[in-house]
Amino acid sequence: MANIDKYSFAGKTAIVRVDFNVPLDEHGNITDDTRIRGALPTLKHILQAGGKLVIMSHMGKPKGKFAEKYSLKQIVEAVSKALGVNVQFAPDCAKAADQVKGLKAGEALLLENLRFYAEEEGKPVGIEKDDPAYEAAKKEMKKRQSDFAGILASYGDCYVNDAFGTAHRKHASTAVVADFFDTDNKMLGYLMEKEVKAVDNILNNIKRPFTAIMGGSKVSTKIGIIENLMDKVDNLILCGGMTYTFAKAQGGKIGKSICEDDKLDLALDIIKQAKEKGVNLVLGSDAIIADDFNNNANQKVCANNAIPDDWQGLDAGPESRKTFAQAIEGAKTILWNGPAGVFEFDNFTGGSRAIAEAIAKATANGAFSLIGGGDSVACINKFGLADQVSYISTGGGALLEAIEGKELPGVVAINQPKTK
Ligand code: AMP
């Protein structure tokens, strides 16, 4: 793998995969430009080094067809402003060769949404998995995906992947395109490098004690991560909606609280695994319960396992918050994914706030803290603590898969020799 700081971009065309999948309002205005800002260090570095930039991204899920509302044309002006150069636009990402050839050093071209071609994702369209012809269609699509990636590759002398958000996908622009470059001419961008390093701190370069906090609504969607973390952490806090699956599994009364009844055995197994592996499993003891699922519902504090029939747990209670904070404040490595309650309701944010504040405190005392997943990031922003944690990940799914211990195709492809 080449290194973005050492690579000589002067006079070369770099094709750079970024994640410009930004939210737009109904008039096509960008409502949150975090992702554009995230890619700027890499893009600016290449331009300042005298390179020519071909920028490529997806937006939304157009499923292989042109759709005005997903056109990247809408963001050209914003990208130009952010980059400080007049960014050109290629309205068809697979027919941009002439425009690429016309680029001069220090100029940039943004390709239209890659996902207007089904080849980008490489999944056969209009055919179900149980169709006898599916396997043949899949094979045919893989070939088309490789051809499409070859077109993208032909635009550049080198390939830079700075789209961590899609690094867990083996798409034409995130992985297959890299097969066309030798390792001296492909590299990770700054954002990707930072993300990969942050994950490495959590998985391989752990300072102890290590406390992981997993929250959110369900245990089933987090089980892969919980199991992988079980071999690494000292303290594992499980909170949020999954609290009640654990409480019920242990014979508790949980009223109307959210619960996965088919995961009660799984919950007991997690408790058993934690004991066997010497992990301090922190499940909390009390909850803020509500008589309705809304912000203005009546609320009171109650033990997690004695919730009245018509009530439901919507947040962690004061005792739980104390035990969470203890396990967090003493830690030297911290991972947080998923809120401790229904943080969207302002009256049920206390548990998540206690976690966020404890993380900020531990970070001030020298811990490395990584916050990932849209909801925890939203929490940390809501509480104004974003600048008091070590790292906030931009990649939801990619981060979770990395923490599960899965290799990310986008990273693997950068490290492998040229095969096409
Ligand atoms: P996830 O997508 O699994 O990470 O879950 C995030 C969602 O979990 C957020 O929308 C929270 O509102 C929700 N959540 C957290 N705690 C609870 C709870 N006690 N009851 C219902 N939903 C919850």
Q: DSSP assignment, residue 24? A: B
Give the span between the Cα atoms of 109 and 156, in whole angstroms.
12
pLDDT by 10-residue block (mean), the chain, 420 residues: 96 97 91 91 98 97 95 97 97 98 98 98 92 95 98 98 95 98 98 94 94 94 92 97 97 98 97 98 98 98 98 98 98 96 96 98 98 87 95 87 92 96
Residue ranges of the chain that CATH labels 3.40.50.1260 = 13-188, 196-403
The pLDDT assigned to 395 comes to 80
> Is 322 strand, coil or helix?
helix
Give the span between the Cα atoms of 119 and 57, in whole angstroms.
14
Substitution candidate for ligand 1 out of 304, 375, 377, 382 with most atoms within 8 A of CB: 375
Q: Is 338 in the pocket of ligand 1 (CB under 6 A)?
A: yes
Q: What pTM value is reported for the model? A: 0.88
CATH fold of the domain at 13-188: Rossmann fold (3.40.50)
Q: Is 260 in the pocket of ligand 1 (CB under 6 A)?
A: no
Structure tokens at 263: 């995961």
Distance 247 CA to ligand 1 centre (A): 16
The pLDDT assigned to 241 comes to 96
Known catalytic membership, residue 397:
yes
Q: What are phi and psi of 198, to 5 degrees?
A: -60, -40
The pLDDT assigned to 396 comes to 80
Atom 1, ligand 1: residue with shortest CA distance: 216
Length of the chain (residues): 420
Q: Is residue 316 within 8 Å of 256, Cβ to Cβ?
A: no
Known catalytic membership, residue 35:
yes
> Of 35, 115, 256, 263, which is the active-site residue?
35
The pLDDT assigned to 397 comes to 85
Known catalytic membership, residue 38:
no
> Of 275, 374, 384, 420, which is the active-site residue?
374
The pLDDT assigned to 374 comes to 73
Looking at 133-277, list the stretches that DSSP marks H as alpha helix, in order from N- to C-terminal side.
134-154, 190-203, 223-230, 242-249, 264-277
The pLDDT assigned to 32 comes to 85
Q: Is 38 in the pocket of ligand 1 (CB under 6 A)?
A: no
Q: Is 325 in the pocket of ligand 1 (CB under 6 A)?
A: no
Q: DSSP assignment, residue 149? A: H
Structure tokens at 266: 């799984």
Which one-letter amino acid corresponds to residue 342?
V
Q: Is 313 in the pocket of ligand 1 (CB under 6 A)?
A: yes
Cα 386 to Cα 37, 93, 376, 410, distances in angstroms: 16, 36, 11, 27
Known catalytic membership, residue 321:
no
CATH class of the 196-403 domain in this structure? alpha beta
Give the span between the Cα atoms of 310 and 247, in whole angstroms.
16
Choose among 328, 329, 302, 334: nearest CA to 315.
302
